[in-house]
Structures are given as C-alpha cells and as structure tokens.
A and B are shown apart, each in its own frame.
Chain A
Amino acid sequence: MLPRYDRYFILWVFIVFILISASPVFAQEKNQSGYFPGIIHFYQEYISPVDGDRCAMHPSCSQYMKKCVKKHGLLTGWIMGCDRLVRCGRDEVKISSPVWADGKKFTYDSVENNDFWWSDK
C-alpha cells in the first residue's frame, strides 16, 4: 500500500497528464509514428480477422487511429483514436453522411471531420 502522500502525488500527475494531453497545442509534433502504428498493424493483421469486421465507420477505428498518429503525432493520435472508439457506431451515425464500401453501409468519419476546428493540414 502506498503512503497517502504518494497516492495524492500519483493522482495529481495523472490529472496534469490528461489535461495537458487534451490540449491541441501539443499536437503539432511530427514523426512520432514509430511503434504505435506497429501495434495497430498487429491488431489489423492478427486480431481483427478473428474478432470480425464489426466497425460501423469508414475509415475503420484502427485505420482512423493510424491516420491520426501519422497526421498529428503519437499523443494526439492516441487521444483522437480513443475518442473515436467511444463514438463508433452511435450518435455519429445520425450526424455524418453514409458511404458504401464492398456492398456495406458505413458512416463516413474521416480525420479531417474531427480536426477541422484546429488543424490547418
């Protein structure tokens, strides 16, 4: 069991980290897409075929996160990807336009649809 002081310290570090990471200002970093897309690639290659093609969005959540990391760096890409996982297949379906791919209907939700309010790229 950690002492009370250390627990508060960890809690504060945690809060500071998440508040800083939520700031788009820190999203300008580039070329940080080293290992993270590798993990996504592993998921796409080995887990997704077993898990099944269940994502209702286009691009799929893993592709979306990969694109986010490529475009905005590791930290913002991770945050945007987590946001997408929460939104996948729910209220976004009513708001965004549908697209058809391989005879299936998907909801179009590109990176640009979600970073237009702060990104020039």
Chain B
Amino acid sequence: MSDVLLLGTPVPLLVVVLLLFLVAVGAGSIGSFLGLGGGVVLVPILVLGFGLEIHLVIAASLVSVIATSTGAASMEVEEGFTNLRLGMFLEMATAAGGLGGALIAVTLLASRDQVLILAFVPVVLAAAALMYTQRSSDTRPGLPADRISRYLQLSGECPDPVHGGTQHYEATRSLAGLGLSGLAGLASGLLGIGGGLFKVPAMHAVMNVPIRVAAATSTLMIGVTAAAAALVYLVVGDVALLVAGPAAIGTVLGSRIGANLRHRASSRWLAEGFVLILIVAAASMLAQGVGWLP
C-alpha cells in the first residue's frame, strides 16, 4: 500500500489513519466539552498538518460533527442536561437557515467564498463578547420566561453537578435565540460547519439557559444540522472514507470523554474555554478570508 506525504515526508497510510483517529479523539473531546462538533479543531489540523484538500476535510468534518453529536447525546439525553423541547424549537430555525445557506452557496455566492467567510468574523467576535460578559454567573437572576417560552414550555430543570441537587432555569428572549439559531444554520449551509459556535451563545448568553444545558442541547442539535449536508456529500461521492471513517470513530470516543469532563467543570471554566475557542475560530476565519489559509 502506498505511502502518503505528511509534511513532506512519506508515511505509511496505516500510520496516517491512526494519527487521524487520535486527532479525532482530541477534536471530539474538545467539541463535546463545549457543545461544538469539533470541526473548528479538526479542520485546521487536517488541512495544515495532514495537507488534505479542504473539500475532503469539510466532508470528514461534517461526519465527525454527527459522530460527536450522536456519541455524546446518546449518553446525555436521559441525564437531564439536554433540553429536547428547546433544541427542537431552535432546530426549526437552524434547518431553515441550513436550507437557505445551501441555496445561497450554490446560486448567488458560489465564487465568493472568502467574502462569505469574512462576513462571519464580526458575528463570532460578538458571540465571544456576549459569552465573556456572562462568564462569572451561569444564569442572570430575575429574567422571567418570555411569552413564547411559556407557551412552548421551553424552561426546564437540570442536575447541578457542582452544588448538588436540581437547578431550575427559565428560557427567555426566544425570538432572539431563534434568530441566532437561524444564523447558525445559515453558517452551516454556507461554510459546512456544525454551527455550535452560535448555538451555545444563543442559548446561554441570549436565552439565559445554564451553560451545561446550552452545551448539551447544542451537541444534540449540531448532528441534525450537519446530517443533511453530510448525506449530500456522501451520495454524490465526495467523502474520502478512509478520512471520514477513522475521524468518526475517534470523535465518537472523544465526545463521550468531553461530555463527562463537562459535567465536572465549573460554568466559569466552560464559558472562558468557549470564549477562547470563539477567538481562535474568528482568527481562523479571518486568515481564510484574506487568503492566508486554504
């Protein structure tokens, strides 16, 4: 079996696939820890470190997003952290945004990828600023559930792993959360990402949901967001199976490690970790937008 050039050095394919698997375990851990798919970690490593083509990496990343989501959510749904009603409500906007983004990508802006990526940089930075302002308190007290939230019963309860017992929370500003989720869907359709970068701030910083619930619910949602795009890539034959397969197995394992770690971490730690990832993502998008990265 032929060798593969890795950073200019010929390396046996088996070694490359094993390295891919290990990178995916790390990406899945970080991703599910913060409620993301891990694509923000996986994509730059596979493009810059492994020298793989960007369209192959995006397809593998979408499969990994689904794997992270499925692996972590299968464990968390019954633990009470995932809010299925809130997730489904926001998925309406995400799915509609995903459809809109895909339409825009193939029609209006097909040849203007870099402009498109740059347009998301200020949004990611705004999300980072929002998350930063709320890093010291998990939820702001005195914000009641809004009318839509009450009508659809979006508020809930979750275990409080740090102080023990159960924590009740009220979901508020539902329309703003729905709008940001639509933007997450749009970003997914246009850029081929899971959209957790926007979903967690939408639920936590805007809708005042505890960060653990926001991360767990986002983890469940990103699988659905990525699934439609991944199916398209798969059916038209754009998935490199020896990239996507090991990446999927690695992220499933990593997702369960990340979700377990999230239960033990303080909410401030989670918020600050998320802000850091948002800044890294904004820098990466900026570098791609101005052509420094492929």
Question: Is the pairing of A and B real?
Answer: no
B residues contacting A by CB (< 8 A) are none
A residues contacting B by CB (< 8 A) are none
